[in-house]
Amino acid sequence: MVVTQVQFRAVVAVFGLVALAAPAHADGGIKLTSESRMHPLFQGGMAFDSNPHRSTGETADGDMFLLMQGGFDIVVPSDRIDVRMHNVISYHHYLGLVSAAGESNTANLSTVKGGTALQLLGNRKGKVRWGTALRINRLDEPEPLNLGVRQGRWNNSGEGFLEWRPGGRAIGIKPSASLGSENYDANSVGATDLNRVSPGLRLDIDWRFLPRTQIVLNNAWTTSVYTNDDSNNGYADPISSELGIMGQVSPRLSVIIAGGYSGSQFYLSSKGEGIHTFSGQAEIRYDEQRKVTWRLGARRRLLPVTMFGFMTENSAYARYSERYRGGFRVVTQLKGNLRTFGALTANDIISISSGTERADISAGFDANLLWQPKKSWMIGLTNRFEIFDTNSVFKSAGVQGDNFVDPSFGRNLSMLVFEAKY
């Protein structure tokens, strides 16, 4: 949630299922030294994807795939320097059961991906604490915001912060800085033009005036420098400042309310009109007997995006989870997004087919049935349905030719998964 304090969490997961499982408990793992432990993890699954290409027409063929994922966490707990490291590698093997005439077989989508993340937290209980996090991720998923096709890329980032809590520690001041990079494989038209480096700054201030209630002021700025396309530099520079309050209204009811200003395109106004707009968040959480949790929320924010400079994202979501005896859980989420974009720079990848600005609509519904009788393993049955519609078209969709294709799609993914973490 945006108004909470920034925390660096080293998590690389497939379909978010790792995040749903319980973290490694203190007594588990393989003892490396008197203080450090290694926690091996494994995930395997079988899934049916109704539209792995995320495409329309004849290319929207479904296929089954096998998921195999392995890795390990290293934990060195300490109040002086707390160390957490997460490593994972996964292999998606599409069986290639269906192939449309003249189109690529889904077996060609089989891929290896993964990542590593390192988190350090120093002087954890002191008045002045510090932290840093480094992540290296190999990704291979379609990206409607950029190319609209399956595109391999490296996504790397580094972050660092200082936090000062003077006096009785009711007030916290937390400046932080980040640096991210994206590097695309050179196997699609214009892909390497999207390579970029993205520095960012944040300043978060919070005041805990009640045990479980705080006022938070979040300030953030980021920009993007395109290493292979100077014409886009200085165009994506969103800045935001939001003031919010979060806390418990009653033992069962919690709220988040935040609002403020967001703006972009201060440096190169010659590239079209910039934007100055409202941003904020509202959420209500209700916990019923500590077994049932409801969340309803809405969010508006301004984000940097390739070629368009910035996008305004308006989202609404509803989440429900319930715990049953025997380790059963049900977790569901319904979410919708409306995104509008800045002016399109000159390119040969994307074209607006109607209207004067790009607009995307997406919606999705997730339903997960999980059984976790022990902290160390879990079995889950998940289903995700999503739709995506836009007034833009993408050139060639990663294949030879000069035709533009509609990237709108509908997709359903059903998966049976097993996860173990020692």
pLDDT in tens, 254-296: 999 999 999 886 655 455 567 889 999 999 999 987 789 999 9
Tell me the C-alpha distance between 16 and 10, whole Å. 13
Side-chain-facing half-sphere of 43: CA atoms under 13 Å: 25
Query: In this predicted structure, what is the pLDDT of residue 60?
Result: 59
How distant, in Å, are the alpha carbons of 45, 47, 73, 241, 268 from that of 420? Answer: 12, 18, 12, 41, 51
Q: Structural domains in the chain?
A: 17-421 (2.40.160)
Closest CA to 58 of 100, 97, 96: 100
Q: Are 191 and 147 in contact (CB under 8 A)?
A: yes
Contacts of 17 (CB under 8 A, 6+ apart): 43, 368, 380, 382, 417, 419
Give me the DSSP letters along 215-237.
EEEEEEEE--EESS-GGGTTS--
Which carries the bigger pLDDT value, residue 418 or residue 32? 418
State the DSSP code for 270.
Answer: G
Average pLDDT of the segment spanning 199-212: 92
**For 329-355, how does the pLDDT look when each residue is reduced to its tens digit (9 = 90+)?**
999 999 999 999 887 766 666 777 776
pLDDT at residue 226 above 60? yes
Please tell me the distance from the alpha carbon of residue 9 to that of residue 23, in angstroms, as a whole number: 12
Among the ranges given (59-63, 224-228, 396-400), the one the predictor scored with the smallest mean pLDDT: 396-400
Listed range (13-17, 63-67, 360-364) with the worst mean pLDDT: 13-17
Within 10 A of 195 (CB to CB), how many other CB atoms are there? Answer: 19
| SS3 assignment, position 25 | coil
**232 pLDDT band (50/70/90 cuts)?**
low
Q: Which among 9, 132, 56, 21 has a CA at the least distance from the CA of 382?
A: 21
pLDDT recorded at residue 307: 73
Tally helices (H) and strands (E) across the chain.
Answer: 1, 23
